[in-house]
């Protein structure tokens, strides 16, 4: 694998594949945008986002919260002439949809994606800025953390793109963010911000659930005799949280459930192929549906299809544990 510090220019003659999507002229902003967040379904053959988005845990100051990794690819174009062209289009019709075609080399890209393997990654230690994270409930991740989660190098090119049929050069920016769900963590971050919002805190992003128990770096007696702050059950001495594993597990399941609800409605029936087609990997499907089945949020039918629980059950679970 070649690591490039500078983006290489991908020539059109080197490309063997195109994806098409629509972009907008910026209804809510005065000028036209310099780039766009791309429609994830339209570009899934180029960037299989769902393969790299996942739910996990984050630990900050002994508080463990479920969290979700979100990937937001943005494409920026080069040059004033394109901007001028878009301005003219906007003056004619600000609601006009602009067609965008992006060319790439699918064969090489697929190979680079296959080569990227982080399945044995158990956790990532990083530092996060306290800033406004108590209200935004998340952070953009640094480049070195992103590189552990996503094959950044595979996309380090200037891509040939046609915007409304006009050739232009573009570069991609992968915005990768982590959002946590726990109010307790939000309160802790608010406390830290009051003292010094510019400070950074040590954070551990825990990808492997087993590491919820064995990521000790605390005083030995820290959690003995503690009871779960949610259900009152005693907490495993090895635990690093003030909630029991069952409660944390249910909170994480809410995030997994919400991800599925991006694509399906309560009571919907669907097949594994539908999920693969959306870009989920087999192991993600296994992990997600194992949890959803455990709490009766999905059932398996005789023909191996999945059926989501009804609206009442799903709403209640999110209300109880979200
Ligand atoms: Zn509990």
State the distance from the centre of ligand 1 to the C-alpha of 248, rounded, in angstroms.
7
State the distance from the centre of ligand 1 to the C-alpha of 211, rounded, in angstroms.
18
The pLDDT tens digits for 211-236 are 887 544 444 444 456 788 888 888 87
The pLDDT tens digits for 43-59 are 999 999 999 999 999 99
Give the pLDDT of residue 133: 97
pLDDT band per the 50, 70, 90 thresholds, residue 1: very low
The pLDDT tens digits for 186-213 are 999 999 999 999 999 999 999 998 888 7
State the distance from the centre of ligand 1 to the C-alpha of 207, rounded, in angstroms.
20
State the distance from the centre of ligand 1 to the C-alpha of 59, rounded, in angstroms.
17
* Mean model confidence pLDDT for the chain: 90
State the distance from the centre of ligand 1 to the C-alpha of 184, rounded, in angstroms.
14
Structural domains of the chain ordered from first start: 216-322 (1.10.10)
The pLDDT tens digits for 265-284 are 999 999 999 999 888 889 89
pTM score, two decimals?
0.82
In three-state form (DSSP H/G/I as H, E/B as E, the rest C), the secondary structure along the chain is CCCCCCCEECCHHHCCEEEEEEECCCCCCCCCCCEEECCCCCCCCCCCHHHHCEEEEEEECCEEEEEEEEEEEEEEECCHHHHHHHHHHHHHCCCCCEEEEEEECHHHHHHHHHHCCCCCCCEEEEEEECCCHHHHCEEECCHHHHHHHCCHHHHCEEEEEEECCEEEEEEEEEEEEEEECCHHHHHHHHHHHHHHCCCEEEEEEECCHHHHCCCCCCCCCCCCCCECCCCCCECCCCCCCCCCHHHHHHHHHHHHHHHHHCCCCCCCEECHHHHHHHCCCHHHHHHHHHHHHHCCCEEECCCCCEEECCHHHHHHHHHHHC
């Amino acid at each position: 694998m070649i690591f490039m510090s500078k983006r290489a220019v991908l020539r059109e003659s080197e490309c063997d594949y195109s994806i098409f999507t629509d972009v907008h002229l910026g209804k809510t902003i005065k000028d036209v945008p310099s780039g766009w967040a791309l429609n994830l379904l339209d570009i899934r053959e180029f960037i299989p986002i769902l393969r790299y988005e996942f739910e996990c845990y984050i630990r900050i100051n002994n508080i463990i919260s479920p969290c979700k990794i979100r990937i937001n690819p943005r494409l920026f174009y080069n040059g004033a002439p394109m901007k001028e062209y878009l301005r003219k289009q906007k003056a004619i019709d600000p609601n006009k949809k602009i067609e965008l075609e992006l060319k790439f080399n699918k064969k090489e890209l697929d190979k680079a994606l296959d080569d990227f393997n982080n399945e044995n990654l158990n956790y990532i230690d990083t530092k996060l800025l306290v800033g406004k994270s108590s209200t935004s409930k998340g952070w953009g991740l640094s480049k070195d953390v992103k590189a552990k989660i996503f094959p950044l190098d595979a996309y380090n090119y200037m891509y040939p793109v046609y915007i409304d049929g006009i050739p232009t050069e573009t570069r991609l920016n992968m915005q990768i963010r982590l959002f946590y769900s726990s109010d307790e963590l939000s309160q802790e971050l608010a406390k830290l911000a009051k003292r010094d919002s510019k400070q950074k805190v040590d954070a551990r992003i825990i990808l492997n659930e087993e590491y919820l128990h064995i990521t000790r770096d605390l005083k030995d007696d820290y959690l003995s005799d503690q009871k779960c702050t949610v259900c009152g059950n005693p907490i495993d001495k090895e635990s690093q949280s003030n909630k029991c594993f069952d409660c944390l597990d249910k909170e994480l399941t809410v995030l997994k459930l919400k991800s599925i609800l991006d694509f399906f409605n309560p009571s919907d029936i669907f097949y594994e192929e539908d999920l693969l087609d959306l870009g989920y990997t087999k192991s993600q499907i296994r992990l997600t549906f194992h949890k959803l089945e455990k709490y009766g949020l999905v059932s398996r039918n005789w023909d191996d299809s999945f059926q989501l629980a009804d609206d009442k059950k799903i709403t209640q679970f999110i209300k109880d544990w979200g």
